[in-house]
Copies of this chain bind each other. A is one copy, B any other.
Amino acid sequence: MRPGIIMDEKIKMAHGGGAAASRRLIEQVFLKYFDNKILRGMDDSAELPPCKGRLAFTTDSYVASPVEFPGGNIGKLAVCGTVNDLSVKGANPKWLSAAFILEEGLETALLERILAAMRDAANEAGVLIVTGDTKVVERGKADKIFITTAGVGEIPEGINISAANAKPGDAIIISGPLGAHGVALMNARHNLGIKSDIKTDSAPLNKLAAAAAQNGATVMRDITRGGLCAALNEIADAANVAIELDETLVPVEADVAAACALLGLDPLDIANEGRLIAFVPQQKSAQTLAAMRAVRYGEKAVIAGTVVSSGKAVVELKTKAGGRRILRLPEGEQLPRIC
């Protein structure tokens, strides 16, 4: 710590320069939120305790706009998203890295709110942020803040979760109502003035995913960009199976459904940040569903579809009107920069 020199109210280019100002930013801001023994080592790499068994490794960049929205901010997304990517692989998320690209002029107070949300999400998930990096680019060369997290988790013995596992007869469980994150973010971005208290669903799903994996789930995905439609298509392709989804069973809260109708959005295509799907053999589906409902963020889990056959990769929707249609990957970009 350099006593006497306090942190600036706004981020300057020098905060990314690797010298005195960088150090002040790290010591006075980042370490205030992320302090732990491994991070304190401040070497070029963090040394992790010995790990048992197989590891899962993942990364995501977060460029959400706006960076703050009802129920969360880009920092919460960055921690929960990587926790969830590890969790749906059946891993226990353990260690996270966090790399920041800051736009010159970013308010330090906003950065601190984002870091506080990261700390809170990491605490809830039981993960440590053990290594990081900060770069600063000139005003107009980024959009306030981009965050990239990577994560390492341990896959317990006997757990083998993969999209390729999907088999005819599997029940498809959706962990909770869809679409809230997308609507909350669009409302905040465009000042749509939709009067509602719709909040992002962003949440760490590691305990929920562990409950599913320990009770029979063989395939899991978190339903992010591309929504349920993309997640189901990816699984159908990976396992070469036909999936049937029953639209009347897909959970969407009434206020989200109303907002989607107003905005011309389909809840099946919207990104969520705290929802997952789990595939489970039919005979275990009641057990898995009960286990998921007993865990936070899984209370409203439902079975909404099945794997009907193998040999052809397709996702079919039984519509509310009683018809059937193929659910294809949307071609364009419905909701840019949603995560």
**Residues of A with Cβ closer than 8 Å to B?**
12-14, 16-23, 41-51, 53-63, 65, 84-86, 88-89, 91, 95, 97-101, 130-138, 140-143, 146, 148, 150-153, 155, 161-163, 221-222, 224-226, 229-230, 234, 238, 269, 271, 328-337
Contacts and interface: CB of A to CB of B under 8 A. Distances in A.
Contact of A47 (B97, B101, B155): B155
Contacts of A336: 13, 16-17, 136, 138
A333 B55 contact: no
B43 A50 contact: no
Given A85-B45, A143-B141, A162-B41, A329 B19 contact: yes
Nearest to A91: B45
A130 B97 contact: no
> What secondary structure prevails in chain A residues at the interface with B?
mixed
Given A13-B336, A224-B18, A226-B19, A99 B61 contact: yes
Contacts of A333: 12-14, 16-17, 19, 21
A17 B47 contact: no
B63 A19 contact: no
Nearest to A269: B19
A335 B86 CA distance: 37
Counting from the closest, the 7 A-B pairs by CB-CB distance are: A18-B225, A150-B150, A18-B226, A148-B148, A59-B97, A45-B58, A45-B89
A143 B133 contact: no
B150 A97 contact: yes
A117 to B, nearest CB: 19
Nearest to A160: B47
B63 A137 contact: yes
B329 A20 contact: yes
Contacts of A53: 50
